[in-house]
């Protein structure tokens, strides 16, 4: 089994009309055994930038802690929050630093940039960025997620419809993947509020 | 007669003094003053801005007060460029602690760690000491609200009320007279503004010459560092009778 599939994960981020949604599964496993059913994969960097980390959980935690370190110092020195594009570049740089002994993570970054324009991107474990206008996926369920998102995605969805779409895409994809699942965690972010919702899916 | 012991920081004089450190403190005695007061529900920091010119490009950033981490802030007196280096060092130290222990750095540990850095410049390396004194204000879950003062020698101690910079002795004795142990944050603001107005050289006190910041707990229990806006500061100055309102003739 590959090291990326050790803990199991599913992450998806989608762009809507002046908003974005990021969803993850909630399972944390050790190969085939499920250890936790409330694992948080998505973290808030600040009110307008969210980071999801799939892959090996220990590397995801350490990478997140390093990013908090860097972002806090940025906030203190620049006296403002980091833009999502800048944050994505920071993540990419941190990952490439470990080019020959990488973090076994695939990050998904989503945020609202200037003029509330939604920004999403993903990258591989050594920092190759993939910017997309519609959706990005990561994790053990990524292949199913690609298919589900491609068929369900529509441009310029309002937050409520975006929530439905991203939830359906996530739940149907993790059902086809034995290593991810046990519900879902969805964040829908608009310029005015952040809505966090828990989904109940097939609990297996 | 002590001139031959001046030039190197790393030697004592025959009387057992470190002249470079004392000269650094002289430099601070000419800088804009700052006062810190510890109250039951927060810490208040007030600073006098020395550089006030119409040509100065004012932005949101402050001249005397700096945030070190979410739960610690400091007021500065002395050479600003030296202060910038130390503030950056303090910020990085606080983040390193948080990275290692996943919790905010206790205030005293942060002050101690910065003072250890300052002390290094008085003992080895042949470099001059930093010409800055700090007033650190913060909160942690072990000791609640705290106020610390540190000077170029790397010495620090905890205070209920302290003053650094120009006229600090006069300010300190005024604080000693008027400070009460159970002072509230509002009373502390009033006391700080009153003391600063009496010890400042300038004849009239306006919000352009001052900076006011507070460290307190929000109703939800989080620590907050807030710098007072110039408008609120003007209103406070009028409210506490420290300055004449614009409409009155003097």
Q: Are the CB atoms for B37 and B179 separated by under 8 Å?
A: yes
pLDDT in tens, B112-133: 999 999 999 998 888 889 999 9
**pLDDT per position as a tens digit, B151-163:** 999 999 999 999 9
- A147: exposed, middle or buried (C-beta count within 10 Å: 0-12, 13-18, 19+)? middle
Q: What percent of chain B has pLDDT over 90?
A: 70
Contacts of residue B27, defined as CB under 8 A and 6 or more positions apart, other chains included, come to: B78, B79, B131
Q: Using CB atoms, which residue from A66, A73, A79 is nearest to B91?
A: A73
* pLDDT tier, B149 (very low <50, low <70, confident <90, very high otherwise): very high
Q: How far from A74 is each of A178, B157, B225, CA to CA, in Å?
A: 40, 30, 17
Q: Is the distance from CB of A37 to CB of A183 less than 8 angstroms? A: yes
With CB atoms and an 8 Å threshold, state whether A65 touches B102. yes
Of the candidates B36, B37, B45, B71, which has an alpha carbon nearest to the alpha carbon of residue B183? B37
Residue A172: Cβ-neighbour burial (10 angstroms; 0-12, 13-18, 19+): middle
In chain B, what residues touch A65 (CB-CB under 8 Å)? 99, 102
Q: Which two tokens stand for residue B126?
A: 């042949």
Average pLDDT over residues B97-118: 96
* In the block, residue with structure tokens 């010459």: B209
Q: Are B137 and B185 in contact (CB under 8 A)?
A: no
Q: What is the CA angle B172-B73-B37, rounded to 5? A: 25
Query: How far is B227 from chain A, CA to nearest CA, in Å?
Result: 13
Read off the DSSP letter of residue B126. Answer: T
Is A76 close to B102, i.e. CB distance below 8 A? Answer: no
pLDDT of residue B17: 87
- Positive or negative, the CA dihedral B153, B156, B159, B161 is positive
Q: Which residues of chain B does A76 touch, with a Cβ-Cβ cutoff of 8 Å?
A: 67-69, 91
Chain B interface test: which of A43, A76, A77 (most B C-beta within 10 Å): A76
Residues 77-106 of B with CB under 8 A from A: 88, 91-92, 95-96, 98-99, 102
- Contact between A33 and A182 (Cβ < 8 Å): no
* pTM of the complete model: 0.91
The percent of residues above 70 in pLDDT, for chain B, comes to 92
Distance from CA of A65 to the nearest CA of B (A): 6
Question: Which chain B residue's Cα is nearest to A76?
Answer: B67
Residue B9 C-alpha from the chain's centroid: 25
Q: What pLDDT is stored for residue A119 in this prediction?
A: 97
The pLDDT, as a whole number, for residue B250 is: 42
A54's enclosing H/E stretch is: strand A49-55
Partner A contacted by B72 (CB < 8 A): no
Nearest residue of B to residue A78, measured between CA atoms: B61
List chain A residues with CB under 8 Å of B101.
none
| CA dist., res. B68 & res. B96, Å (int) | 12
Residue of A nearest to B96 (CA): A69
Give me the mean pLDDT over the B181-210 stretch.
88
- Residue of chain B whose Cα is closest to the Cα of A63: B99
Beta-carbon separation of B91 and A77 below 8 A: yes
Mutate to test the interface with A, among B95, B96, B102, B110 (most CBs of A within 10 A): B95
Yes or no: say if B113 and B93 are a contact pair by the CB < 8 Å rule: yes
Comparing alpha-carbon positions, the chain B residue that sits nearest to A69 is B95
A65 touches B: beta carbon within 8 Å: yes
CATH, range A3-199? 3.60.20.10
Best of B98, B99, B105, B110 to mutate (most A CBs within 10 Å, chain A): B99
Phi-psi region of A4 (alpha: psi -120 to 50; beta: other; left: phi over 0): alpha
Distance CA B46, CA A4 (A): 53
Q: Which residues contact A94 (CB under 8 A, 6 or more apart)?
A: A63, A66, A67, A70, A127
Amino acid B245: pLDDT: 52
pLDDT at B208: 84
CB contacts of B61 in chain A (<8 Å) are 79
Confidence bin at B3 (pLDDT 50/70/90):
low
Among B60, B91, B96, select the one facing A79 at the smallest CB separation.
Answer: B60
Please answer yes or no on whether A76 and B67 come within 8 Å at the CB atom: yes
Confidence of residue A56 (pLDDT cuts 50, 70, 90): very high
Does pLDDT of B2 surpass 90? Answer: no
Beta carbons of B23 and B37 less than 8 angstroms apart = no
3-state secondary structure of A173: helix
pLDDT in tens, B35-89: 999 999 999 999 998 877 778 877 667 889 999 999 999 999 999 999 999 999 9
pLDDT digits (tens, 9 = 90+) for A101-121: 999 999 999 999 999 999 999
pLDDT (average), residues B85-97: 97
Rounded to whole angstroms, the Cα distance separating A67 from A73 reads 10
In CATH terms, the fold of domain B19-50+59-240 is 3.60.20
CA pair distance B79, B69, nearest whole angstrom? 22
Q: How far is CA A168 from CA A21, A165, A184, B147, in A?
A: 12, 5, 10, 53
pLDDT at B186 over 50: yes
- Decide if A73 touches B, using CB distance below 8 A: yes
Q: Would the CB atoms of A77 and B98 count as touching at under 8 Å? A: no
- Residues A57-95 have pLDDT tens digits of 999 999 999 999 999 999 999 999 999 999 999 999 999
Task: Assess: ipTM above 0.90.
Answer: no
What digits encode the pLDDT tens for the residues B230-241? Answer: 899 999 988 888
Listed range (A68-82, A92-106, B17-31, B96-110) with the worst mean pLDDT: B17-31
- The answer to whether the Cβ–Cβ distance between B99 and A66 falls below 8 Å is yes
């Amino acid at each position: 089994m590959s090291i990326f599939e050790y803990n199991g994960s599913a992450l998806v981020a989608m762009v809507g009309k002046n908003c974005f949604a990021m969803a993850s599964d909630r399972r944390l496993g050790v190969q085939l055994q499920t250890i936790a059913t409330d694992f948080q994969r998505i973290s808030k960097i600040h009110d307008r930038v969210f980071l999801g980390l799939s892959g090996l959980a220990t590397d995801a935690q350490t990478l997140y802690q390093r990013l908090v370190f860097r972002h806090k110092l940025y906030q203190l020195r620049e006296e403002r929050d980091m833009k999502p594009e800048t944050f994505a570049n920071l993540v990419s740089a941190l990952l490439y630093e470990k080019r020959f002994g990488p973090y076994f993570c695939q990050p998904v970054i989503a945020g609202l940039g200037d003029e509330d324009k939604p920004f999403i991107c993903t990258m591989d474990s050594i920092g190759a960025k993939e910017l997309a206008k519609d959706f990005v996926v990561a994790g053990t369920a990524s292949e199913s997620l690609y298919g589900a998102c491609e068929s369900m995605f529509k441009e310029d969805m309002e937050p409520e419809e975006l929530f439905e779409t991203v939830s359906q895409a996530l739940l149907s994809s993790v059902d086809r993947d034995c290593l991810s699942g046990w519900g879902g965690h969805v964040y829908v972010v608009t310029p005015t509020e952040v809505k966090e919702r828990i989904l109940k899916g097939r609990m297996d | 007669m002590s001139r031959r012991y001046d030039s190197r920081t790393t030697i004592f004089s025959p009387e057992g003094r470190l002249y470079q450190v004392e000269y650094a403190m002289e430099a601070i005695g000419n800088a804009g003053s700052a006062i810190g007061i510890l109250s039951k529900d927060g810490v208040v920091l007030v600073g006098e801005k020395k550089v006030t010119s119409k040509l100065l490009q004012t932005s949101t950033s402050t001249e005397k007060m700096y945030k070190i981490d979410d739960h610690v802030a400091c007021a500065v007196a002395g050479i600003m460029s030296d202060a910038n280096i130390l503030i950056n060092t303090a910020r990085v130290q606080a983040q390193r602690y948080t990275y290692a222990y996943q919790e905010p750095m206790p205030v005293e540990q942060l002050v101690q760690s910065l003072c250890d850095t300052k002390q290094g410049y008085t003992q080895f390396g042949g470099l001059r000491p930093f010409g800055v004194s700090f007033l650190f204000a913060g909160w942690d879950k072990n000791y609640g609200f705290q106020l610390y003062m540190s000077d170029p020698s790397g010495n620090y101690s905890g205070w209920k009320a302290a003053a650094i910079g120009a006229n600090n002795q006069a300010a300190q004795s005024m604080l000693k007279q008027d400070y009460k142990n159970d002072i509230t944050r509002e009373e502390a603001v009033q006391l700080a503004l009153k003391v600063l107005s009496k010890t400042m050289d300038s004849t009239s006190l306006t919000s352009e010459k001052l900076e006011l910041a507070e460290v307190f707990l929000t109703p939800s229990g989080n620590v907050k560092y807030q710098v007072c806006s110039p408008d609120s500061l003007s209103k406070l100055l009028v409210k506490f009778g420290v300055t004449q309102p614009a409409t009155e003739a003097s």
